[in-house]
Amino acid sequence: MDDKDVIIAQLMAEIQQLRAEIQSLRDENTRLKKDSNNSSKPPSSDIVKPKRNVRKKVKRKRGAQKGHKKNGRKAFTSEQIDETIEYEFIAADAVGLIPLNEWHSVQQVSLPEKLYCVTEHKARKYLDPKTGRIHIAPLPDEVRQGGLLAADMTTAVAYMKGKCHMSFSTIQSFFKEVVGLQLSRGLLCKTVLKVSDALQTPYDHLKSKLPQENYLGIDETGHKDNKKLRWSWCFQTSHYSLFHIGSRKCDVLIEILGKNFKGIIGCDYYGAYRKYSRLFNALMQYCLAHLIREIRFLAEHSNKTLVRWGKKLLEWLKKMFDTLHKRYRYSQKGYEQKMKKIKQGFLKQVRRPVDHQLARKLARRFKAKAANHYFRFLTDPNVEPTNNGTEREIRHLVIDRRITQGTRGEAGMRWCERIWTTLATCRKKNRSAFDFIHNAIINYWKRLPSPQLV
């Protein structure tokens, strides 16, 4: 019995210990907030993005909640309704009931039986009795250039290809099975190239505006063309975005921006940007999110001295972003003084690297003049400290690349540049991309001035 009592006492003590550990883990889980260690968030977001107070989650049933105001779509007006069908009781069912001049309405949208109309344009032929030649009355430019597909159908094909990332085979299937129209892949390809030509002037107009901008966010991502690696560049402002496919060299920046660009470029630390800055004294704002990722790599290194050095740098950057997100609490002078103190503390730390190759390599970036390329956002409120906005702009390029597998020549690359630019800029201007493409096609075929994106 004594042995049993000892065993029971040991088990009870172990149970009490496990209960304490479970409670401790529960408390820690309650305090836990999402970061890069327990979610898909990038590591830099732990510092760059402000932490929000997360409300405690309350378990509730799916769907609309009690007391929530219904948010339904507006009913069609009488002018928008094409047909009205009325339903009433038969005489036997309506005995004893008084009919009211009120109706319960259900508005239903349906597809017409035929989703397209065919217009035949006939040009009369004339015979010249003297020469025997046949003369044909001229057709309107938009009819002659459009061919089988009118401007609205041409726009639909371009929209499917550009916005919806549909392949020519998918578009062909859609027209065959849904619209009831048999179109060849060759015709669809030619249609897209027609739209590309119509979008060239608006694209070139935006391209000419880039060298005059005060601030540009720039980033690049890979692009496949005939199994060769190219690069899709994104140049974005608050009003528009422009895309260009070329190499990944500094020559692209010289071609697009020229040699006398006076604005500020927001970018990562890639060599092409550094070379452009070195050759033409261009002002840069290197992305602090990329810098944080690099320093976090050092802070997780096997070398303990390097880890301590990296963690101190991260602490300074965390203070900087905390102050940036809470700047409304300070006066302008107080904010500038606090940021100046944080900047000096960071530079003092980074310019005293530990005895490690990676630390010395990072420290070389922050020499007297070069350090300014990381802190221009402190003196110019229009400059972003990170390049996250431009990176978001190129996400749909990656989606398009995965679906379409790239392009097959010069014409395909030019189409991508122009349609991507049109879609991104229309989204920023809160305009209908479909309407813009449609107007651009009509004006191009009628030889009228092209509409401008900006």
Q: How far apart are CA 51 and CA 325, in angstroms?
A: 9
Q: The whole model's pTM is what?
A: 0.83
Q: How far apart are CA 66 and CA 53, in angstroms?
A: 24
Q: Locate 108 and state its tokens.
A: 């239903």
Measure the N-to-C terminal CA separation of the chain; round to a whole number of Å: 91
Q: Locate 406 and state its tokens.
A: 């790239």
For residue 66, what pLDDT is reported? 78
Helices 185-198 and 151-162, interaxial angle, to 10°?
90
Please report, for the chain, the start and end positions of each structural domain, with discontinuous segments joined by +. Answer: 209-284+390-431, 288-383
Digitized pLDDT (tens) for each residue of the chain, 454 residues in all: 567 777 888 888 888 888 888 888 887 776 665 555 555 566 666 677 666 665 666 677 777 777 788 778 889 999 999 999 999 999 888 888 999 999 999 999 999 989 999 999 999 999 999 999 999 999 999 899 999 999 999 999 999 999 999 999 999 999 999 999 999 999 999 999 999 999 999 999 999 999 999 999 999 999 999 889 999 999 999 999 999 999 999 999 999 999 999 999 999 999 999 999 999 999 999 999 999 999 999 999 999 999 999 999 999 999 999 998 888 888 988 988 999 999 999 999 999 999 999 999 999 999 877 889 999 999 888 899 999 999 999 988 888 888 888 888 999 999 999 999 999 999 999 999 999 999 999 999 999 999 999 9
Query: What totals of helices (H) and strands (E) does the chain contain, helices first?
Result: 17, 7
Q: How many CA atoms lie within 13 A of 322 on its CB side?
A: 9
Q: How far apart are CA 314 and CA 306, in angstroms?
A: 12
CATH number of 209-284+390-431: 3.30.420
For residue 10, what pLDDT is reported? 83
For residue 50, what pLDDT is reported? 65
Residue recorded with tokens 């669809």: 188
Write the DSSP string, 338-384: HHHHHHHHHHHHHTS--SSHHHHHHHGGGSTTGGGGG-GGGT-TTS-
For residue 379, what pLDDT is reported? 87
- Complete edge-to-edge strand list for the sheet that includes strand 228-236: 241-246, 228-236, 215-225, 264-267, 283-286
